[in-house]
Chain A
Amino acid sequence: AAGVIQSPRHLIKEKRETATLKCYPIPRHDTVYWYQQGPGQDPQFLISFYEKMQSDKGSIPDRFSAQQFSDYHSELNMSSLELGDSALYFCASSLIQREAFFGQGTRLTVV
């Protein structure tokens, strides 16, 4: 069965650079979530989309933005990267208010 695909799996960027993370949800899922998980931390909700419209925002820095495209894939853009942005970034998709399925995550390292 198709799962949530995230790319890239690993990314190394320097401070002040920009990074773009991509997420391809499970076909026919109408909801996409983005989470950030620091080392030893719980997943922190960043933002969600329902039917390509932003649904809610969590603790997402102003340097970050996200969007969902007509083909339902989503991208998380991070600018002016800081060392503290190093984390695992997870995307999840679901049918609204149903169980979410997570991708394997993108490990971002800022040096």
Chain B
Amino acid sequence: SQQGEEDPQALSIQEGENATMNCSYKTSINNLQWYRQNSGRGLVHLILIRSNEREKHSGRLRVTLDTSKKSSSLLITASRAADTASYFCATDTINTGGFKTIFGAGTRLFVKA
């Protein structure tokens, strides 16, 4: 199964509202990243939070990380129709076999104008 599990799977909100997406993972990580993907397009990096960080902001984005609960959340404030996309969390792990970045199932966000 995927390292990251996200909820909700789909979210529909009105423009101007806040959107919160959650991600849980199973194993120890080095970093956790959030990406955005418009349908059929490449993934765009949003924010990276390291395992020793608890919160990070970037513009209208706020990411939290709770390593004790193995979970992270992405908050988009004052959402816009242009925020409509799929949002993925990805965990970076390093082990004796190497390193990898594993993506969760994604949350499909729909922002209604």
Contacts and interface: CB of A to CB of B under 8 A. Distances in A.
B103 to A, nearest CB: 5
A83 to B, nearest CB: 19
A96 B94 CA distance: 11
A103 B42 contact: yes
A56 B33 contact: no
Interface residues of B, number: 26
Interface residues of A, number: 27
B99 A42 contact: no
A105 interface: yes
A55 B106 CA distance: 25
Contact of A100 (B41, B101, B104): B101
B99 A48 contact: yes
Contacts of A43: 43, 88, 103
A43 B92 CA distance: 14
B5 to A, nearest CB: 10
B81 interface: no
Contacts of A92: 43, 101
Contacts of B102: 45, 58
Contacts of B45: 99-102
Contacts of A96: 99
Interface in A31-55: 33, 35, 42-45, 48, 50, 54-55
Contacts of A88: 40
A102 B43 contact: yes
A97 B31 CA distance: 8
Given A33-B101, A100-B101, 11 more contacts: A42-B104, A48-B98, A48-B100, A56-B98, A56-B100, A92-B101, A97-B92, A99-B45, A100-B33, A100-B90, A104-B42
